[in-house]
Structure formats: structure tokens, C-alpha cells
Amino acid sequence: MYSKKLLGTCLVLATSVGVPQASSANSTTNALKQSDNFKSSIPSFCSRRGWRSVNYFETANYRVHICASRRGKYFYNGISKRNGNAITLSVIVEEGTGFVATNGQYEYIVNGASLTIVRNNRVIKEERVIRSN
């Protein structure tokens, strides 16, 4: 829904600045295919473990899957885009549209706006969420 509005805006912008219609139509088709591939890949991480996908967040450097087990327990799975390192943790708090998971001194807080990593009560990394479902 949001991506189609954005693509329509891009198409209007592309034609208003003189980009040929055929190339913007191809770009729109490719973008829709990528969007569909993205949507279908979201639940795959959770479903491979027999869990249900609750939410997905993506920043410039990380992908975060929030999954629920059959017993209703939530899990945070964070994956680095840079090196593929991943961590799966139990979610300790669900706050509205946000989730908090801890690992020793580290706290991972994710919501529709940002991913924040805290160590010893100090923010060590904060990234804007660029995509979520």
C-alpha cells in the first residue's frame, strides 16, 4: 500500500523531469517485483523455526525479525547486513509497536522509528528504521 503510493509518486516525478515513460514503467515493474519478493521473505525466518512472524524492521545496517512461538513467547532476531552475524533473544517487553530484548549488558530496542542498542544504560548505536511491516 505505502510502496505503491511511493512508486506512483516516483513515476509522476520521473515523467515531470523528462525521464522517458518506458524506462519509468520498467523501473516501476522492477520495484514492484522487489517489493513482492521482500514481503514474501519476511515470514520465512520465523516460519523456518515453526514460529509466526509478528513484525520486521530494517535499518541501513540491520534486519530485525520479531517472531512468536506457538506458546506465544516473542523472539528478537537481529542480523547484520555487513557480515551476517546474527543474534536471537527472548523479547522481555512488548510496548505498543516496539520490542525490547536483552543480552547481558546489552539492550535492543526496536520500533517503527528506530533500532537502538544500549550497553550499560548508554546508547551505543541508533539507526532509523527504513522499512517495516
Three cell numbers at 98? 516496539
Residue 119 or 5, more confident: 119
Alpha helices, DSSP H only, in the chain?
2-16, 21-47
How far apart (Å, rounded) are the C-alpha atoms in residues 3 and 8? Answer: 8
**27-54 residue pLDDT tens:** 434 443 444 444 445 557 898 889 999 9
How far apart (Å, rounded) are the C-alpha atoms in residues 41 and 22? Answer: 29
Residue 73 is classified by DSSP as: -
Three cell numbers at 49? 523455526
Q: Does the reported pTM lie above 0.75? A: no
How far apart (Å, rounded) are the C-alpha atoms in residues 20 and 25? Answer: 9
**64-103 residue pLDDT tens:** 999 999 999 999 999 999 999 999 999 998 877 799 999 9
The answer to whether 110 and 76 are in contact (CB under 8 A) is yes
How far apart (Å, rounded) are the C-alpha atoms in residues 108 and 125? Answer: 10
